[in-house]
């Protein structure tokens, strides 16, 4: 039985397990129908031209997570941002771990999707926001919607700012030979609200893990959302991340994606600008090697006038790694005075690594400034020589240059402790120890 059939036939069991009278029952049913009709995307589809899911579909994933497993805090401590105090929403094998988490309902809601879906107090919010901006056509998003049950639910009311950043961490313990996890997050920032989120997926074993996550973010007028995705997972796990962002007037949403680990990572990042004077920022650093594949697909849909979008993705590819970047900017007829900027720079370190990039513009308005740039190249030999001539060993010199290359993206990280953490990860990745923080 292939994975698709297995998923479709498991749906009934899943529905029986959760509450059939639940208002989202219809949404789930419609979603599974769409997934059944479309199936997993194949390489024949333009959006999946360079990324194949075939090998993943051959794995016999178990779909329903087991009961809460015991995970000692000391074992997983290093995955948290310990230097600062944060709210924590932690899932172990897809199940909420109350022991490791720290949630709140004081003024803001930092809690669980399952309670939001089931408790009547949240019904009004769920009715307005759940599965509204997520693409109902996309088969993998539909698959997530059909099985949506657990994840993070964050609601920041008008004029509120949570006291500390929020960490969302998904652990996989490998209690199953191969596990499919489908977290579903809903994040709502009302007018003038502001929040920072750090998201991380972490497998603790070498067993196969496939995560198909969907996150919906709603930023109301003047809201500010900072979202950091750290993708430094074990080489046996794969991640398909679908993020949908709805922005209203003068809101500012920034998403940083740091992709260092994982076997296959696919990021679908979609911004919809439903208002004026909006700013959207997407930044990413990808440093991979081995047989890793990281695929960034971004979409910015400029619907109304006077908005801006900035994209800056840097990638360094070694050994047999494959990088994909596909950035799409759509500027609607109404969206005059749009300023859209897109940049994708890549360094190929090895002859076996490859990069496929396609920065796309679709523009229907005339009074706009849109540009994209993309480069593929190597580390500057002269710069490398300069550093070596001053007594810096080649390995460190190379690492320094790579730091410099990625620095543009790191600079805009607003949590200093997080920046330090990422620097450490990069240093580890490059196998050097540099005695300074960038």
Partner 1 sequence: MAYTEEELKKELETKEYEYGFYTDIESDTFPNGLNEEVVIAISKKKEEPEWMTEWRLEAFRIWKEMEEPEWANVTYDKPDFQAISYYSAPNKKPKYDSLDEVDPELLDTFKRLGISLDEQKKLAGVAVDIVMDSVSVATTFKKTLGEKGIIFCSISEAIREHPELVRKHLGTVVPQKDNFYAALNSAVFSDGSFCYIPKGVRCPMELSTYFRINQAGTGQFERTLVVADEGSYVSYLEGCTAPSRDENQLHAAVVELIALDDAEIKYSTVQNWFPGNKEGKGGVFNFVTKRGICEKNAKISWTQVETGSAVTWKYPSCILKGDNSIGEFYSIAVTNNFQQADTGTKMIHLGKNTRSTIISKGISAGKSQNSYRGLVQVGSRAANARNFSQCDSLLMGNECGAHTFPYIEAKNSTAQIEHEATTSKIGEDQIFYCNQRGIDTEKAIALIVNGFSKEVLNKLPMEFAVEAQKLLEISLEGSVG
CB of 7 to partner 1, least distance (A): 29
DSSP 342: E
DSSP 233: -
* Binding status of residue 351 toward partner 1 by CB under 8 A: yes
DSSP string, 23-44: TTHHHHHHHHHHHHHH-S--TT
Among 108, 220, 353, 418, binds partner 1 (CB under 8 A): 353
Fill in the per-residue mask, 34 to 63: x = in contact with partner 1 (CB under 8 A), - = not in contact: ------------x-----------------
- Radius of gyration, CA atoms only, the chain: 21
Query: Are residues 330 and 362 in contact, defined by beta-carbon separation less than 8 angstroms?
Result: yes
Interaction of residue 178 with partner 1, rule CB under 8 A: no
Question: Interface with partner 1 includes 348 (CB under 8 A)?
Answer: yes
**Angle, helix 3-17 to helix 25-38, in steps of 10 degrees:** 170
Query: Counting contacts by CB under 8 A, is residue 95 touching partner 1?
Result: no
Tell me the three state secondary structure of residue 395. Answer: helix
Cβ-contact 403, 438 below 8 angstroms: yes
Residue 137, CB-side half-sphere exposure with 13 Å CA sphere: 0
354 binds partner 1 (CB under 8 A): yes
3-state class (DSSP) for residue 50: coil
Q: Is 377 in the site for partner 1 (CB under 8 A)?
A: yes
Asked whether position 137 contacts partner 1 by CB under 8 A, the answer is no
Binding test (CB under 8 A) with partner 1, winner from 209, 357, 397, 399: 357
339 contacts partner 1 (rule: CB under 8 A):
no
Of 150 and 318, nearer to partner 1 (C-beta) is 318
* 424: contact with partner 1 by CB under 8 A: no
Question: Does residue 366 bind partner 1 (CB under 8 A)?
Answer: yes
CB of 42 to partner 1, least distance (A): 15
Closest approach, Cβ 360 to partner 1, in A, equals 5
Q: Is 223 in the site for partner 1 (CB under 8 A)?
A: no
Residue 273 vs residues 62, 139, 191, 225, 280: alpha-carbon distances, Å: 38, 23, 15, 14, 8
Q: In this structure, are residues 205 and 125 in contact, taking their beta carbons and an 8 Å threshold?
A: no
Please report how close the Cβ of residue 284 comes to partner 1 at its closest, in angstroms: 17
Shortest Å, Cβ 305 to partner 1: 11
Tokens standing for 238?
């794969």
Q: Which residue has the tokens 């010199």?
A: 397
The first and second tokens of residue 249, run together, are: 């007037």
Pick the closer one to partner 1 by CB: 25 or 352: 352
Rule CB under 8 A: choose which of 365, 392, 401, 427 binds partner 1. Answer: 365
Q: Closer CB to partner 1, residue 128 or residue 334?
A: 334
Instruction: Quote the least distance from Cβ 276 to partner 1, whole Å.
Output: 17
Residue of 66, 136, 358, 419 that binds partner 1 (CB under 8 A): 358
Answer whether 274's CB lies under 8 Å from 243's CB.
no
């Amino acid at each position: 039985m292939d994975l698709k059939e297995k998923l479709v036939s498991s749906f009934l069991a899943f529905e029986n397990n959760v509450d059939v009278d639940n208002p989202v029952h219809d949404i789930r049913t419609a979603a599974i129908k769409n997934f059944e009709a479309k199936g997993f995307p194949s390489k024949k589809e333009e959006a999946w031209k360079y990324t194949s899911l075939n090998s993943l579909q051959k794995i016999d994933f178990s779909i329903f997570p087991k009961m809460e497993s015991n995970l000692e805090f000391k074992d997983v401590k290093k995955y948290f941002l310990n230097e600062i105090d944060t709210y924590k929403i932690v899932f172990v094998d897809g199940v909420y771990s109350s022991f490791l988490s720290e949630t709140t309902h004081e003024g803001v809601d930092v809690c669980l999707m399952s309670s939001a879906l089931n408790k009547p107090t949240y019904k009004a919010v769920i009715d307005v926001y759940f599965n509204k901006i997520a693409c109902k056509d996309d088969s993998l998003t539909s698959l997530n919607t059909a099985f949506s049950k657990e994840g993070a639910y964050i609601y920041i009311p008008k004029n509120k700012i949570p006291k500390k950043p929020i960490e969302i961490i998904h652990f996989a313990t490998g209690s199953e030979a191969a596990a499919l996890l489908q977290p579903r997050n809903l994040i709502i920032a009302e007018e003038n609200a502001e929040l920072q989120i750090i998201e991380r997926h972490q497998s603790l074993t070498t067993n196969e893990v496939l995560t198909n996550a969907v996150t919906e973010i709603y930023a109301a007028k003047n809201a500010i959302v900072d979202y950091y995705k750290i993708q430094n997972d074990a080489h046996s796990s794969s991640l398909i991340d679908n993020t949908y962002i709805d922005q209203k007037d003068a809101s500012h949403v920034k998403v940083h994606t740091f992709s260092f680990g994982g076997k296959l990572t696919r990021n679908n990042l979609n911004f919809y600008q439903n208002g004026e004077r909006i700013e959207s920022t997407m930044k990413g650093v990808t440093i991979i090697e081995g047989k890793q594949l990281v695929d960034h697909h971004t979409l910015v849909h400029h619907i109304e006038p006077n908005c801006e979008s900035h994209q800056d993705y840097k990638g360094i590819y070694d050994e047999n790694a494959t990088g994909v970047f596909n950035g799409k900017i759509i500027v609607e007829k109404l969206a005059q005075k749009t300023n859209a900027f897109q940049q994708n720079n890549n360094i190929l370190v090895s002859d076996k690594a490859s990069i496929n990039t396609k920065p796309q513009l679709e523009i229907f308005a005339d009074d706009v400034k849109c540009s994209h740039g993309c480069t593929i190249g190597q580390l500057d030999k002269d710069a490398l020589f300069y550093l070596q001539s001053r007594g810096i060993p080649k390995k460190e010199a190379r690492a320094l240059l790579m730091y410099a290359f990625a620095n543009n993206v790191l600079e805009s990280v607003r949590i200093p402790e997080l920046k330090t953490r990422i620097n450490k990860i990069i240093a580890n990745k490059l196998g050097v120890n540099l005695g300074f923080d960038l």
